[in-house]
Amino acid sequence: MPLALIVSPVRSWPLDQGNRARIMAMGAMLKARGYAVHFLLSELEGGPSAEERTVMQQQWDLLRCVPYRHQRQQRHAEAWGPDDWYDPALDAEIRDLSRVWSYDLCLVNYAWYSRAFEALPPDVVRVIDTHDAFGDRHKRLYEAGTTPVWYFTRPEGEALCLDRADVVIAIQEEEQAWFESLTARAVTTIGHVTPAAFLPARTRREGKLRAGYLASGNPSNQASIAALIRHWAVDPFLSAQVELHVAGPICREIRGSYPFVIKHGFVPDVTGFYEGVDFSVNPNIGGSGLKIKSVEALSYGRPLFATASGMLGISGVAAPYVMPDVASMTQEMSQALAAAPDLQAATAWARNTYLDYRRKHVGSFDALLDTVCRQRAGYRADRSRTGALRA
């Protein structure tokens, strides 16, 4: 049985953030293809609770958690250096695991954690799941009117991180082109892939339509939901006929009280949340990376109204129900719902969009594993030749 080690500074549970959902989806695809998967957590966000640890132990064939004790210091005045967030305490754990287990593949989450590769034996295939492009990320966020938080670096710092890998995974095509401009390493695009779990339309004998928005509380989402609420409040149809159901950490960031906004907080059952809404929204106004909340809604077959940036890497910006900005998205949504509240055409579009998207990226994932097998075989052959020469 092939064996993979996933290294991550982010927990895989609870699934209330897009990056955690991404980590779980990649692990699930490896398992579905016969891999045993070990998960090594660097506790950047703090250690998991006892309940969270129990769930994570069930998710993975082996779980190791390393307390994060690194004192971060920003190397550059305007950005972090490539390894400023990496905790060197992880190196000893990787070496210990590698002495016991023969890993075929090491998948590191985030390029800025790729220093972990240096603790591996040379015959392990090294893959980075980038999640996002972090070179000049702070500049892109400033341009979008959002204050940058979390990690961002210079392009040359991101290039150094990428060069440590055998294969780099971009989460959308636009970022693949960026990474290819920084490194000579192989770059492929694999979106966020989960099984299609299309739900039947919500039974609605009477009452208002329900929109759903499930998101983390990062600054981009804060600005996005605030803009949506502003436009929603002044639209006569939406404010009177449609409820906005909000779930996840973003609930804590909504300022003020609005009669059409219903906050759910943390929802342990994501499927249950989507069962309770008629359609989803993603009013994204900035940031980079694939918007996993959009993919997730489509995977449940829920109609989705989104801005163009909320659909990057998923469908063309000229697709129906995708508008350039929050103002036009809100207007389109109001008109579409007033004209066809049964959402049959929107549901068909959502399902077809997700099936096309999933088919494409499952193929890319399988091609990645073919590459891993070839490189692993090459590393083993090189090791055998070296051993024979020494003998």
Residue 377 maps to a domain: no
pLDDT the model gives residue 316: 56
pLDDT band at 149 (very low <50, low <70, confident <90, very high): confident
Q: Are 38 and 4 in contact (CB under 8 A)?
A: yes
pLDDT value of position 111: 97
Helix or strand holding residue 233 (H, E): helix 219-233
Residue 200 lies in a domain: no
170 and 125 housed in the same domain: yes
Looking at the domain assignment, is residue 362 inside a domain? no
CB-based contact 113:80 (threshold 8 Å): no
CA dihedral 345, 295, 292, 3 (to 10 degrees): 170
In the predicted model, is pLDDT for residue 105 greater than 70? yes
Q: Does 216 lie in the same domain as 136?
A: no
Q: What is the pLDDT of residue 150?
A: 80
State whether 83 and 126 are in the same domain.
yes
State the chain's mean pLDDT as an integer. 91
- Output the pLDDT for position 383: 65
- Residue 33, beta-bridge partner list: none
- Shared-domain flag, residues 178 and 240: no
pLDDT digits (tens, 9 = 90+) for 174-183: 899 999 999 9
Segment 261-277, tens digit of pLDDT: 999 999 989 999 999 99
Instruction: Give the bridge partners for 43, in sequence order.
Output: 67
Q: Cα–Cα–Cα angle for 130, 181, 177, nearest 5°? A: 60
Please list, residue by residue across 67-84, b when 16 or more beta carbons sit within 10 angstroms of its beta carbon and e when fewer do.
ebeeeeeeeeeebbbbbb
| Residue 171 and residue 249 in one domain | no
DSSP letter assigned to residue 324: S
The reported pTM is 0.87
Same domain as 150, residue 55: yes
> Does residue 83 have a pLDDT over 60?
yes
Structure token digits, residue 152: 């961002």
Domain with residue 39: its CATH number is: 3.40.50.2000
Q: How far is CA 161 from CA 76, 112, 132, 346, in A?
A: 16, 6, 13, 41
- Virtual CA dihedral for 220, 224, 230, 233, nearest 10 degrees? -140
> Residue 328: in which H helix or E strand, if any?
helix 326-339
Indicate whether 184 and 220 sit together in one domain: no
With tokens 């208002």, the residue in question is 208
Residue 72 lies in a domain: yes
**Residues 53, 11: Cα–Cα separation, whole Å:** 9
Same domain, 247 and 145: no
Domain that holds residue 175: 3-190
SS3 label, residue 8: strand
- The pLDDT assigned to 389 comes to 42
- Distance, CA of 186 to CA of 204 (rounded, Å): 50
Is 386 inside a domain boundary? no
Q: Is residue 336 part of a domain?
A: yes
Q: Which of 382, 316, 390, 371 is nearest to 169 (CA)?
A: 371
Which residue did the predictor score with more confidence, 313 or 254? 254
Q: What is the rounded average pLDDT of the residues 127-143?
A: 83
Residue 374: pLDDT above 90? yes
Q: How many angstroms separate the CA atoms of 108 and 64, rounded?
A: 14
Residue 187 above 90 pLDDT?
yes
Asked if the structure places residue 371 within a domain, the reply is no
387: pLDDT strictly greater than 70:
no
**Domain co-membership, 265 together with 153:** no
Q: Quick: pLDDT tens for 22-58.
A: 999 999 999 999 999 999 999 999 999 999 999 999 9
Nearest to 24 by CA among 65, 63, 56, 66: 56
pLDDT at position 341? 86
Residue 365 φ then ψ, to 5°? -65, -45
Residue 287 pLDDT greater than 70, yes or no: no
3-state DSSP call for residue 176?
A: helix
Element counts in the chain: helices (H) and strands (E): 12, 13
Task: Specify whether 19 is located in the same domain as 162.
Answer: yes
What confidence tier does 16 reach under pLDDT thresholds 50, 70, 90? Answer: confident
Is residue 184 domain-shared with residue 49, that is, in the same domain? Answer: yes
Does residue 127 lie in a domain region? yes
* Domain co-membership, 98 together with 156: yes
pLDDT of 70 over the 60 cut: yes
Looking at residues 4-25, what average pLDDT do you find? 94
Domain count, the chain: 2
DSSP E strand stretches across the chain? 3-8, 36-43, 62-67, 105-109, 125-129, 167-170, 186-189, 209-214, 242-247, 261-265, 279-282, 304-307, 322-323
